[in-house]
């Protein structure tokens, strides 16, 4: 008979002690405070840019959202490799959590971009290298999440997702370097962009505040989503254990109406 000992050991430690819950509340409070500080610096604390005026303040959300989104995708990339090497449920849980959170931040980037572009460029969108690649990456990570939803096998789903996650991430460094390699409508980088780039110190501080706030928010969201996925893995393992004791595991894996 299947017992708890037959389940992956790391899935048997799901219940969280009260201290962990208190830590989460503290971290959520810190994250909220950082978001308020970032909002203040972006809208009030930073000086108004001379050319674009108040529209430039979108920059403080647009750029950090892209950076945190790409960081999330990088963690997804590492977690996908980890899963393919070790078949760890925790790696799979981290991969899906970072993919979803990264997609959320990239959606912020793609939403704020046209809002900023319209008054500055006079157009909502242009198909230059940076914008097009960012949109392609967004579509591919949406496909990644859809693939997981429509892949029925509990074993095949994480393998396919991990392979796709590694493949998609190849476009991220190309997107990052696009405005350095090609002449585009998108402005040249002002952070780590070379000798002619740079920001006013007060503007840089505002960007840094928003970056740290978004990083804390990413960590909070990834933690919550990761724990949800771990519980899902745990429940699936328990379900398979029950079916194994009933001699029905082969029926489930082969689909309805097929018996071994």
Q: Is residue 5 part of a domain?
A: no
Neighbour count for residue 113 (Cβ, 10 Å): 21
Q: ∠78-82-85 over CA atoms, to 5°?
A: 140
Q: Is residue 9 part of a domain?
A: no
With cut-offs at 50, 70 and 90, classify the pLDDT of residue 218.
very high
Q: What are phi and psi of 53, to 5 degrees?
A: 70, -145
Whole-number Å distance between alpha carbons of 133 and 229: 29
Q: Which residue has the higher pLDDT, 217 or 228?
A: 217
Q: Is residue 259 part of a domain?
A: no
Decide if 234 contacts 11 (C-beta within 8 A): yes
The pTM of the full predicted model, rounded to 2 decimals, is 0.81
With cut-offs at 50, 70 and 90, classify the pLDDT of residue 181.
confident
Q: Is residue 52 part of a domain?
A: yes
Mean pLDDT computed over 230-245: 76
Decide if 120 contacts 51 (C-beta within 8 A): no
Residue 247 backbone zone (phi > 0: left; psi -120 to 50: alpha; other: beta) = left
DSSP state of 127: -
Whole-number Å distance between alpha carbons of 36 and 45: 12
Mean pLDDT computed over 83-89: 91
Task: Please report, for the domain that includes residue 236, its CATH number.
Answer: 1.20.120
Q: Is residue 139 part of a domain?
A: yes
Residue span of the structural domain in which 51 resides: 24-241
Domain total of the chain: 1
Q: Is residue 13 part of a domain?
A: no
C-alpha closest to that of 175 among 135, 218, 144, 127: 135
Q: Is residue 106 part of a domain?
A: yes
Q: Is residue 17 part of a domain?
A: no
Give the chain's mean pLDDT: 82
Most distant CA pair in the chain, distance: 74
Residue 230 in this model has a pLDDT that exceeds 70: yes
């Amino acid at each position: 008979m299947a017992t708890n000992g037959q389940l992956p050991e790391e899935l048997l430690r799901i219940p969280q002690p009260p201290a962990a819950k208190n830590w989460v509340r503290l971290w959520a409070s810190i994250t909220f405070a950082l978001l308020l500080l970032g909002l203040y610096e972006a809208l009030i604390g930073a000086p108004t840019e001379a050319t674009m005026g108040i529209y430039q303040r979108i920059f403080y959300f647009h750029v950090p959202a892209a950076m945190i989104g790409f960081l999330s995708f990088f963690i997804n990339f590492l977690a996908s490799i980890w899963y393919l090497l070790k078949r760890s449920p925790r790696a799979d849980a981290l991969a899906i959590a970072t993919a979803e959170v990264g997609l959320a931040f990239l959606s912020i980037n793609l939403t704020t971009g046209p809002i900023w572009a319209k008054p500055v460029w006079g157009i909502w969108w242009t198909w230059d290298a940076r914008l097009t690649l960012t949109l392609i990456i967004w579509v591919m990570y949406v496909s990644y999440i859809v693939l997981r939803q429509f892949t029925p096998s509990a074993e095949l789903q994480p393998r396919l997702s991990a392979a796709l996650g590694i493949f998609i991430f190849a476009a991220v460094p190309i997107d990052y370097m696009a405005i350095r390699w090609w002449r585009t409508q998108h402005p040249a980088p002002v952070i780590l962009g070379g000798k002619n780039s740079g920001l006013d110190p007060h503007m840089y501080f505002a960007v840094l505040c928003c970056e740290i706030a978004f990083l804390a928010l990413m960590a909070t969201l990834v933690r919550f989503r990761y724990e949800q996925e771990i519980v899902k893995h745990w429940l699936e393992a328990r379900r398979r254990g029950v079916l194994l004791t009933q001699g029905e595991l082969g029926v489930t894996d082969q689909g309805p109406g097929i018996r071994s």
